[in-house]
Structure formats: C-alpha cells, structure tokens
Amino acid sequence: MRIKDAVQVLDAEVLIGEDLLDQKIIEFAASDLLSDILTYTKEGYVILTGLTSSQVVRTAELTGAIAIIFIRGKFPVQEAIGLAKSHHIPLLRTEKLMFESCKKIVQEVKEDKKDEKPLF
C-alpha cells in the first residue's frame, strides 16, 4: 500500500505533501498518546492520530514515520504544518474515526495480499 492508496481508502484530504504520496507504507501506528508512538520506531510507517500539535510532527520525524493522518476531521495547528513541510512529511485528514480508519486500512491490506501472486 502507498500513501496515495490510503488517501482513497480513507476518503482523506491531502493537506500538504502531494508530491510525496507514492511512498510505500510498511506499517501503521494508531494512537492519541505520543508516548506510545515514541516506542514505535520503524521506517516507512504512517501515524493515525487525533492529536494536532507540532509535537506529532516532531514524533513522526524522530521515529521514521513517512506521513501523518489526522482522524475525526481534525486540522493540525499552523506550526505543525510548517514543520511537516520542512521535514517533507505529508499530512492528511479524514473525517473517519480511529477504529473505522484502522478497519478500512486492514481490509485494503488484506485485499492487496489476495491479489499478490505466489512466488512459487
């Protein structure tokens, strides 16, 4: 799955970073607690959160996240947008709730795996 696929699956609005949507997503982290996300350091993952402060972007940059998806229709503060631009981290926004967003992503990933052809 790529970030652009997550945009479609979640009916998300791209706030910034339209030129970065072709990045491949390896995993997702969904939380409203930055301390939980800070324990999750991986490359190529996306954060789903309802938090909108600049600290979310700092956490994303520190832990290797490639995008942030704001749930429940929330908008990030202006400082977060500026910080995300400078770190080349796309920001997306969806009206969907956390649970619904996670469910749709899992369904899409399962569909993608069904379409993969076995190597042998």
If 0-12 CB within 10 Å is exposed, 13-18 middle and 19+ buried, where does residue 18 land?
Answer: exposed
Q: pLDDT (tens digit, 9 = 90+) per residue, 51-94?
A: 999 999 999 999 999 999 999 999 999 999 999 999 999 999 99
> Do the beta carbons of residue 90 and residue 13 sit within 8 Å?
no
Whole-model pTM: value is 0.91
The dihedrals phi and psi of 70, each to the nearest 5 degrees, come to -90, 125
> Do the beta carbons of residue 69 and residue 51 sit within 8 Å?
no
pLDDT of 42: 81
Element (H, E) at 47: strand 45-49
Domains of the chain in start order, with CATH, are 3-111 (3.40.1390.20)
Give the Cα separation of 28 and 107 in Å (integer): 13
pLDDT of 116: 62
